[in-house]
Structure 1
Amino acid sequence: MSETPSNFTVEPEFTNKTLSVTEINTATMAMTPISPKYRQINLIWGACFGAVLAIILTLFTSGIIFDLPENARPYVIGGYVFIAISTLRNLIYHVFADPLIQYALREHDLNYQSGLIFRSLVSQPILRIQHIEIRRGPIELQAGLATLQVFSAGGVSHTFNIPGLVYEDAVSLRQFILDHKDLAADV
């Protein structure tokens, strides 16, 4: 009888069984919402942008910079209406769309869900993640937020962004993926 050497490891048997569509259910995947601060920032930024456009239009039409002809009044009113509608549309979109942005980190993949009318769910296997970055602009820095950019192997640009993450969570996600992307190849 031969003995198995102590340094010998038994590799798990590779399986590739067929699954039916009913067995695959992403609806039960536990998704994590992004920080509510992200929506607040978008709402404040959108309102400020609309206000700045209205101020610029007011400066141009007040006669301080130059005089407008009398027949320009309908165009000025149209400009105010356009700014108001655009700003309101933008604010309403962020009120409803930003809370729907979610992500899920699972053992072998990272998932990102977004969209209001056209919903999107992107799943990126950790094994295929080539590069991952944490981006922070000045506003995100002040709010303690970050955007995680995920780059796929073979992709020219990033595969997707996960905006509105608490900075510490973004660092933890990045570190987990970096620590486990090579381990996923061993399975």
Structure 2
Amino acid sequence: MCRLVFWLILVSLLLLLYWQPWFPLPPALELYLPELQLATGAFGLLTSGYGVIADKKKGYAIREHDFSYRSGVIFKSVVSQPILRIQHVELKHGPIDRHFGLASLDIFSAGGSMYTFSIPGLPEEKALEIRSYVLTHSDIAAND
């Protein structure tokens, strides 16, 4: 949805630039601006459609001994992380996420500085629940 709004605003700005009466446009820009508007609109629709399809293909699974995340439309990937190897779980939410009550969950493995995978767009309560489950479960599994 945010992608679509971004592209609609961009096409609207290009239309405003084309129809504005305040200053004359250079002839080359005036000649190619309609094609640029059409290309921008088409690219915006394609990327928005791809985003909707890609969002439906994302998923996660929490099992007893591991945590898995799958994504991808054309190039599919499944990343699994044993719970024993999870070092910490980070909860992130920007201003737009906070407004809608969403959060991203970053799973960090032991021995790596970057996160193993990130799960975006979770409801904040669900993200907190998953975070606490993974952290308490990794402590319990380490003591077994």
- TM (norm. structure 2) is 0.89
For residue 34 of structure 2, the aligned residue among 77, 86, 100 is 77
Corresponding position of 1:160: 117
Corresponding position of 1:148: 105
Corresponding position of 2:127: 170
Corresponding position of 1:92: 49
CA gap of 1:65–1:51, structure 2 versus 1, over 3 A, is farther
Whichever of the two has the greater Rg, that structure is 1
Within 2, Cα distance between the matches of 1:71 and 1:94?
Answer: 33
Q: CA RMSD in A?
A: 1.7
Q: For the Cα contact (< 8 Å) 1:46–1:91, is it kept in 2?
A: yes
Decide which structure has greater strand share. Answer: 2
Within 1, Cα distance between the matches of 2:99 and 2:47?
Answer: 23
**Offset of 1:65 from its aligned partner?**
5.4
Which residues of 2 match residues 37-186 of structure 1 at below 5 A? 43=1, 45-64=2-21, 66-186=23-143
Within 1, Cα distance between the matches of 2:22 and 2:40?
Answer: 20
**Offset of 1:181 from its aligned partner?**
1.2
CA gap of 1:85–1:172, structure 2 versus 1, over 3 A, is same
Decide which structure has greater helix share. Answer: 2
Q: Which has the higher contact order (CA 8 A, sep 6+)?
A: 1
**Offset of 1:149 from its aligned partner?**
0.7
Q: How many residues align?
A: 144
Question: Where do 5+ consecutive residues of structure 1 fail to align?
Answer: 1-42
- TM (norm. structure 1) is 0.70
**Offset of 1:64 from its aligned partner?**
4.5
Percent of aligned positions that are identical: 43
Amino acid at match of 1:124: Q
Question: Where do 5+ consecutive residues of structure 2 fail to align?
Answer: none
